[in-house]
Amino acid sequence: MPASSPADRVALLFSGGSDSTLAAVRAAERFAEVHLLTYRRFGMTDVQNSELHVRKLKERFGPDRFVRPPIENVDRLFSHVSYESYLEDVLRHGFMVLTTCGLCKLAFHLRTIVYCHDAGVGNVWDGSNRAMVIFPEQMIEVLDMFRAMYADARIRYENPVFRYDDEQGIEFGSSVWGLGPARAERQASVQRTTGDELYELGILPARVIKGTPYDKTIQGRCYQMVLFNLWARWLYLERHDMTRYRREVEAFYAKKVGRARRLVQDFVADPAGSRLRRLVEGG
């Protein structure tokens, strides 16, 4: 049935991987209209691979359940988020400026807020997962900052697959980069993953697909994350504990998201003339 209000619509940050695909399944079970948003920027390749699981979702739930906008470039927003106060950030937070994945996701969220305003969408979901232990954008402390930023725009932000286990969070280094996991990632065995759910739904060909050839066909890759992985996993976390890492991540992102929230608040006050609108539209 057609969505009648923003509360009936959800925008999903969709990479095509198993976490965002299961989030899309859950969204289709709950909402009348699911907007699958995929972004790209310099350093990302093959993001069009996300179309494979878009097709599978439409086959399962019907083509009218999903809205699929064109994949959009967010280079301008990403550059603003990353470099607005770069020297100050380096002096105060050091190598935290290498946390490219978190900065990229912050740019995605800012673009999504503008999209939701324009499309009349009242909810945002993503595939954030607690097992991705070193990625700032998937830490609960940072997710709660994002939640507050969305609330500034009167949008409800949720992470429906956050509590699942994830084989990538345990063995990302060995399965994707050919390196062993960091000391902080040597944790208990996996119990229940998003891959398990999707395999049982007939969407995935196997329970474990991350780091496999199939994984490379369903989502894009970002090679700028290599430097972050090398620094975080095999330098910082081999010398310091996860508690210190999370504390430093939280301090850095409190500053970054704080600045982003001012952009959002300005956008809410003046959607057409705001700086965020100009960053999105290139004006």
Mean confidence (pLDDT) of the chain: 90
Let me know if residue 127 belongs to a domain.
Answer: yes
For residue range 215-246, list pLDDT tens digits in order.
989 999 988 888 888 888 888 988 999 999 99
Q: Does 1 reside within a domain?
A: no
Report the CATH number at residue 255: 3.40.50.620
pLDDT in tens, 65-102: 999 999 999 999 999 999 999 999 999 999 999 999 99
Whether the predicted pLDDT of 135 surpasses 90: yes
Q: Tell me which of 23-27, 141-145, 212-216, 263-267 is least confident.
A: 212-216
Half-sphere exposure of 270 (CA within 13 A, CB side): 8
Considering the domain boundaries, does residue 69 fall inside one?
yes
Per-residue pLDDT, 210? 79
Residue 12, domain member (yes or no):
yes
Residue 208 is assigned to a structural domain of this protein: yes
| Residue-wise DSSP of 257-272 | HHHHHHHHHHHHH-TT
In a domain, 48, yes or no: yes
Over the stretch 150-201, which tens digit does the pLDDT of each residue have?
A: 999 999 999 999 999 876 544 444 444 444 454 444 444 457 889 999 999 9
Picking from 106-115, 117-126, 180-189, 242-251, which range would have the lowest pLDDT averaged per residue?
180-189
Domain range holding 270? 6-278
User: Which of 28, 63, 45 lies closest to 217, judged by CA?
Assistant: 45
Q: Is the pTM of this model over 0.85?
A: yes
- Predicted local distance difference test score (pLDDT) of residue 102: 96
Q: What is the pLDDT of residue 276?
A: 98
Q: Give the mean model confidence (pLDDT) for residues 264-279.
A: 97
State residue 153's pLDDT score.
98
Query: Average pLDDT in the 141-148 region?
Result: 98
Look at residue 173 in the predicted model and tell me its pLDDT. 46
3 pLDDT above the threshold of 70: no
Residue 207 lies in a domain: yes
Q: Could you give the number of structural domains in the chain?
A: 1
